[in-house]
Amino acid sequence: MEKKTLAVVTGTRAEYGLLRPVLRRLQNSEKLDTALLVTGAHLAGEYGLTVREIEADGLPIAARIPILEGESGPLATAGAVCRTIDRFSRWFEEHRPAALLLLGDRYEIFAAAQAAALQRVPVVHISGGDVTLGAADEYYRHCITKIAHLHFPSCGEYAARVIRMGEAPETVYQLGGLGDENLRTIPPMSRADLLASLGLAEWGEKPFGLVTFHPETAGDADPMAQMQALLTAMEREPELNWLITKSNADAGGAAINRMWDEWAAARPERAAAFTSLGVVRYVAALRCAALVAGNSSSGVVETPTFGVPTLNIGDRQAGRIVCDNVLCCPADADAITAALETAKTAGFREKARRTVSPYNGGDTSARMVRVLEQELLRPGFGAPKAFYDGPVPADWHNPAEPVS
């Protein structure tokens, strides 16, 4: 039987880290070939040229499709979307993959989904059904859901939401979260090795906070004012060092990164800012951190696996499931300070430690690849879909059971 080609898009360090186990398993598939399409921040020097991480992993890259032009702001984002639709449409026209696998909800992923739809390439979507009221990703994500023919939401609540959006239950597979699988399976790196690899051995045993802050891209929040509030609160915590991972390529991210660079440069003994830690070091940092702070999806989706005290600031992640290890607060200096103090208490640390992640689906990537092999080879896959108007079935996929 001739293999089917599954195209996979990655545009950022975070999403590549989640896709990594799936890509590795797809490399060994006897039924599917993989065409990895690298785009977005991976190819931009100002965001760390993180395509090098993919190269270091030895994964073949089918195409490098640049879409960023070094500008920032809503108009620059619109331009990147236009270039993505144009350039991906051309690739799909030439190569005609059997399907396109996408993860998440960023604007370049939304644009790649549009290009696939225009070229009649079926879309498979990982992590639909989430809600993030403080980011434009909220509506990008739901648009991708309506384009997609096959869905891999990360937990039962999100899967039920996808079905309520009109997606047929038989196309929705809740197999757990890839971030949770990564955290459970990546070989641990010691604190000493982590700090040495970052040039921070002098931090010794002093506790550190891991912080990532992105601009809110929905609503009328002022990302610079929010960032200043966070910096003020961090300055009030002299007993903590700060390991900073910079913002992504959202509108306003470049300005936030300039603030990080200036703040860390003025405090070299207790703060260090990195464009990207890479998957292994980021997981090690989560394991070793005294607390996590900021507004990244990792803070609410991945930290429950390790039970690390976490502070979720502002509304960027509003609407996601929030576990017992996560404290939510406004992007106000005094509120952030108070939440940091709570996160450091013995009582909250113990509460966080007992957290049970809702994203644990076991061997998520292996189960996902089995479904992909099954569905892409099924006669009729990718045919026009109908809107499902029924209820969420009582006997719908049990997330505790492996897919046959």
Instruction: Give the residue extent of every domain in the chain.
Output: 4-177+361-376, 189-353
Question: For the residues 213-233, what does the mean pLDDT come to?
Answer: 89
Phi-psi region of 120 (alpha: psi -120 to 50; beta: other; left: phi over 0): left
Instruction: Supply the CATH classification number for the domain 4-177+361-376.
Output: 3.40.50.2000
- Distance, in Å, from the CA atom of 55 to the CA atom of 285, rounded to the nearest integer, reads 23
Q: Is the pLDDT of residue 401 over 60?
A: no
pLDDT at 1 (0 to 100): 65
Point out the least confidently predicted range of 74-83, 281-290, 372-381, 394-403: 394-403
% of the chain with per-residue pLDDT over 70:
97
Angle at 383 between CA 368 and CA 100, to 5 degrees: 45
| Residue 395 pLDDT greater than 70, yes or no | no
Greatest extent of the chain over all pairs of C-alpha atoms, in Å: 63
Query: Which superfamily does 189-353 belong to?
Result: Glycogen Phosphorylase B; (3.40.50.2000)
Alpha carbon dihedral 131, 137, 138, 140, in 10-degree steps, equals -130
SS3 298: helix
Average pLDDT, integer, range 179-207:
94
Check if the beta carbon of residue 180 is closer than 8 Å to that of residue 363.
no
Helices (H) and strands (E) in the chain, counts: 16, 12
Q: Give residue 232's pLDDT.
A: 97
Return d(Cα 199, Cα 269) in angstroms, integer: 12
pLDDT score recorded for residue 133: 79
Same fold yes or no, 4-177+361-376 and 189-353: yes
